[in-house]
Structure 1
Amino acid sequence: MNNIPELKLGIVAVSRDCFPMELSVSRRQAVVKSFKELGEEIFECETTIENEVHMRKALAEIKAANVNALVVYLGNFGPETSETLIAKEFGGPVMFVAAAEETGDNLVGGRGDAYCGMLNASYNLALRNIRAYIPEYPVGTASEVAEMMQEFKPVATALLGLKNLKIISFGPRPQDFLACNAPIKQLYNLGVEIEENSELDLFAAFNEHAEDPRIPEVIKSMEDELGEGNKMPGILPKLAQYEITLLDWMEEHKGSREYVVFANKCWPSFQTQFGFVPCYVNSRLATRGIPVSCEVDIYGALSEYIGTCVSNDVVTLLDINNTVPADLYEQDIKDKFQYTLKDTFMGFHCGNTASSKLSFCSMKNQMIMARALEPDQEPNITRGTLEGDIIPGEITFFRLQSNADAELTAYVAEGEVLPVATRSFGAIGIFAIPEMGRFYRHVLIENRYPHHGAVAFGHYGKAIYNLFRYLGVKEVGFNKSKGMLYKTENPFQ
């Protein structure tokens, strides 16, 4: 993954002047020791903050060490002003956490009252309009705080990535796909840049790469990846040319930003002009940490990038596509897995999922497009999809979205891909999410989410939920368990 930030975490202790500073220092040292025992690295700021002068000194130490994510540790009650000022002036992701008392044998000189201090810290953060990561229960022993810091790492990585991200798009959304057309105002609120281009810009750049000397090398890479799945080798030269085009555009247009993702038009005129479908190339870029969303889905690309940063792994973008037929459920799922029929659905896209996330794969043509563009003939311009069943295992389905009123919304749900043959086409899997039927109705439909969802391969719901809250999403939708009613759910079932 060469398109996500490298995190350098730092920790600074704070101390209220009417409490022993030594208490914060010794507790900070214990936290650092526990964190390193987990195999983690961290910069330990030697200056403990008791006032604003200390704050500036500590900030200089932190900046000199190139720290880009900071833990503010309340070893005792803590100074409300200076501990929140460092969060404001640091300018990067910040976590606030506090020390639990250590022993009943030392509750006079050794009592720190950080449990109380966290309340004042949270109030002062709000007064200064500072967002900070505060764990679910932000008070703990050294080992517990170390584990909380581990949970902060993927959130901080994603925050740094968004701060330095540019989304490059090509072409307007396809007709009748307005669901993926969302106001871009919230991108700027998140600190994300966007560069919107015409399909003609991409077509011109593609044609300029027609004789690029790197094409044979990329073809060889594709052949090695596809192996026996290389069923349509004649289309590889064009796909290689397209891959080089996108990578060159990325380098030439990233400007002041460090990281880039794409949201690209992929039909209907793409096939007739470019002479192929781009799905396989999209999958290869996703493998490199450069997601390329389908159908100019800008917030889909944003969501994919978040998943890449949080999981440090390949992600994909899928349609929440079709129901599982009752007969397939009865034969292959019922009594073998603890899911009802309504808990299951098929996640599908034409062929944009990386080969590493498919149980098997082969180069195919886009069957749906071929019906309209190449009926009753050998596929030509609709070639370029990577098809196969998605690997079974844990997944997180999620999306960050701007709704029609330009409000930031989000959802996240954990589930799995079942080890059940799909019997279908495309990059596709049978997904199971507990209480999916209710989630589908009262989150996805009720809140007007589009049909695209990002998929991370593993359970990352906690980190993604915390990230969405840090970003200011007021209400994050999730799949509620039985007995937990949604606001719009009829209680008289």
Structure 2
Amino acid sequence: MAQKHQIKVGIACIARKTFDFKAALDIFHSIQTSKLQKISNIEWVIIPNLVIEIQDAQIAAHHLASKEIDAFICLSGTFALGHLILEFNKVLKKPILLWGLDELPYNGGKIRLNSVCGINLNASNLYKAGVKDFHAIVGEELVELENWLDAIRIMAAFQTAHIGIIGYRAQGFFNLDVDELDLYNQTGVLIDHYELSQVFQMPVEDSEINIRKQQIIKLFDISQISEDQIEKVALLTTKFDQFMKTNNLTTCAIRCWPEFAGSFGISPCAAMSILQSEGKIMACEGDILASMSMLAHQAIGAETPFLADFSQVNFKEDFALLWHCGVAPCNLWDEKCTRSLDGYFAGGKGVTADFVMRPGEISLARIDYAPGEYRILLQKGLGIPMKKELKGTYLKATFSSGVRTLMDKIVYNGIAHHLSVVYGDYIKPFEIFAKLKHWKKI
């Protein structure tokens, strides 16, 4: 698993002295040492004492706000005053996790915590106050907590991302367009535009180009391309790398055709395959939302997301081919076929990466926009072995819901034709993220 996006999270334990507040404080201390400290890439801002009175909540909320937290956890140590969560929210205006505790053994017939009822009260107060970006869990298992934290990581990654579009969307791909200010309103993302010529003219060192050339020769079978094409792939890889560093880009979406091959001499696929294997996020065809889908996967620890078309279907054998023209990260090669570069694309100018991708459990995601709404398509699947029979990069996959069902979801919801794909199960954090954002989940 890759390193997850770093976030800062505040936590406070609320209680009421008519219940066993001392036991609640002991549990709170135990959770800090036995649970919270085990979760990586979190900076915790902890209110050490129980929050019982209204003034306690006001003071704690302002302290947390001063620390610029990304989200807030309200642990219901016991049932507590309904004012408290509203006081926190009034100041913080951040996503909230309502965390309830399992009830302790009864002591003389008296309920000791009544924590779950406290969640009920707080959720009802927030909901009826128009605050709906909260989530609730009960118990001390870390799985549900980490799924919520991962949803927060996605939100924080968007807030801090610098996303560039180089050129524009590809010709005729109207469905990849976004309303930039609405996207900013929804996610905090601002898009910066660059011309293709800015990449072409990016100054780079000859020594860096040579290092890239040697890397290409080591990674790929290059027998199908010319010496000039090898030089151009090395040059473009170096220019892209330097361009993203110079402009401090988290991700970029590139108008990779129709002008690119004509203006630079090759298509950018092979260069993008190499750089994506090194952790950079680069989306084809000017697809900003694809780059954000890939960024979201990366933020929650998925390694090297890759872009794919839901390209071919076989209803009889119930599989689909996740294919693209030759841009997937080269480290995802199945290690059985020949990993090669080819000039078949763009009227023979190429250059694309060609290989079958490794089998295994996969997760698909697509953040998508249609007039008036954002949606997220989510699907788990299984990549299965196949022989190298095509140009480009591709994976044969089956899906528990069936290929026809998945195709219907994509087609009849008007989902754009690029999916972010990763190895492993990365569905639940997206579901929570969608709920917090009030986006439609498909």
Query: Given residue 348 of structure 1, which amino acid in structure 2 is its aligned partner?
Result: W
For residues 434-485 of structure 1, the C-alpha deviation after alignment (integer angstroms, 9 at most, x for no partner) is 2334433542111111211110211111122222222221x311xxxxxxxx
Contact 1:304–1:315 (Cα < 8 Å) also in 2: yes
CA drift of 1:180 comes to 2.1
Query: Given residue 122 of structure 2, which amino acid in structure 1 is its aligned partner?
Result: A
Cα 1:214–1:129 change in 2 (3 A) is farther
Contact 1:350–1:366 (Cα < 8 Å) also in 2: no
Cα 1:185–1:112 change in 2 (3 A) is same
Contact 2:362–2:424 (Cα < 8 Å) also in 1: yes
> 1:476 and 2:441 equivalent?
yes
> 1:240 and 2:234 equivalent?
yes
- After superposition, residues 375-454 of structure 1 pair within 5 angstroms as 381-383=349-351, 385-403=352-370, 405-421=371-387, 423-454=389-420
CA drift of 1:184 comes to 3.2
CA drift of 1:211 comes to 5.3
For residues 231-251 of structure 1, the C-alpha deviation after alignment (integer angstroms, 9 at most, x for no partner) is 646434333333343344334
User: Hey, what's the Cα distance between the residues in 2 that align with 1:92 and 1:289?
Assistant: 30
2:254 corresponds to: 264
Cα 1:3–1:287 change in 2 (3 A) is farther
User: Hey, what's the Cα distance between the residues in 2 that align with 1:310 and 1:230?
Assistant: 38
Query: Given residue 125 of structure 1, which amino acid in structure 2 is its aligned partner?
Result: L
Give the counterpart of 2:76 among 74, 82, 102. 74
For residues 276-313 of structure 1, the C-alpha deviation after alignment (integer angstroms, 9 at most, x for no partner) is 11112222333343311111111111111111112341
- Deviates further, 120-129 or 306-315: 120-129
User: Hey, what's the Cα distance between the residues in 2 that align with 1:107 and 1:284?
Assistant: 66
Cα 1:37–1:212 change in 2 (3 A) is closer
- Deviates further, 123-132 or 182-191: 123-132
2:193 corresponds to: 196
User: Hey, what's the Cα distance between the residues in 2 that align with 1:33 and 1:107?
Assistant: 31
Give the SS at the match of 1:13: strand
Give the SS at the match of 1:460: coil
Contact 2:306–2:420 (Cα < 8 Å) also in 1: yes
User: Hey, what's the Cα distance between the residues in 2 that align with 1:111 and 1:357?
Assistant: 53
- After superposition, residues 337-376 of structure 1 pair within 5 angstroms as 341=316, 343-360=318-335, 362-369=339-346, 373-374=347-348
1:290 corresponds to: 280
> 1:307 and 2:335 equivalent?
no
User: Hey, what's the Cα distance between the residues in 2 that align with 1:195 and 1:365?
Assistant: 32
Give the counterpart of 2:308 among 297, 301, 318. 318
Cα 1:229–1:61 change in 2 (3 A) is farther
Cα 1:321–1:152 change in 2 (3 A) is same
> 1:54 and 2:56 equivalent?
yes
Count of residues in correspondence between the two structures = 436
Contact 1:261–1:301 (Cα < 8 Å) also in 2: yes
> 1:467 and 2:442 equivalent?
no
CA drift of 1:368 comes to 4.4
CA drift of 1:70 comes to 3.5
Contact 1:345–1:432 (Cα < 8 Å) also in 2: yes
Contact 1:397–1:455 (Cα < 8 Å) also in 2: yes
Give the SS at the match of 1:196: strand
Cα 1:59–1:449 change in 2 (3 A) is same
Contact 2:51–2:57 (Cα < 8 Å) also in 1: yes
Cα 1:102–1:231 change in 2 (3 A) is farther
User: Hey, what's the Cα distance between the residues in 2 that align with 1:35 and 1:15?
Assistant: 20
CA drift of 1:271 comes to 0.4
User: Hey, what's the Cα distance between the residues in 2 that align with 1:471 and 1:230?
Assistant: 49
Contact 1:49–1:83 (Cα < 8 Å) also in 2: no
Contact 1:263–1:301 (Cα < 8 Å) also in 2: yes
- Deviates further, 211-220 or 453-462: 211-220
1:83 corresponds to: 85
1:158 corresponds to: 154
For residues 122-165 of structure 1, the C-alpha deviation after alignment (integer angstroms, 9 at most, x for no partner) is 22333454454524xx222x3x2x33222223222211101111
2:144 corresponds to: 148
RMSD: 3.0
For residues 409-437 of structure 1, the C-alpha deviation after alignment (integer angstroms, 9 at most, x for no partner) is 11101011012325222100111112334
Q: Taking structure 1 as the reference length, what is the TM-score of the superposition?
A: 0.79
1:217 corresponds to: 211
CA drift of 1:18 comes to 4.3
Q: Taking structure 2 as the reference length, what is the TM-score of the superposition?
A: 0.87
CA drift of 1:190 comes to 1.3
Cα 1:463–1:107 change in 2 (3 A) is farther
Contact 2:202–2:242 (Cα < 8 Å) also in 1: no
User: Hey, what's the Cα distance between the residues in 2 that align with 1:88 and 1:439?
Assistant: 44
- 5+ unaligned residues in a row in structure 2: which ranges? none
> 1:181 and 2:181 equivalent?
no
Contact 2:12–2:75 (Cα < 8 Å) also in 1: yes
- 5+ unaligned residues in a row in structure 1: which ranges? 325-339, 375-380, 478-493
Contact 2:224–2:342 (Cα < 8 Å) also in 1: no
Cα 1:310–1:223 change in 2 (3 A) is same
User: Hey, what's the Cα distance between the residues in 1 that align with 2:135 and 2:308?
Assistant: 32
2:125 corresponds to: 124
Query: Given residue 319 of structure 1, which amino acid in structure 2 is its aligned partner?
Result: D
Contact 2:15–2:80 (Cα < 8 Å) also in 1: yes
User: Hey, what's the Cα distance between the residues in 1 that align with 2:91 and 2:234?
Assistant: 46
% identical equivalent positions: 19
User: Hey, what's the Cα distance between the residues in 2 that align with 1:287 and 1:402?
Assistant: 28
1:114 corresponds to: 115
User: Hey, what's the Cα distance between the residues in 2 that align with 1:39 and 1:210?
Assistant: 40
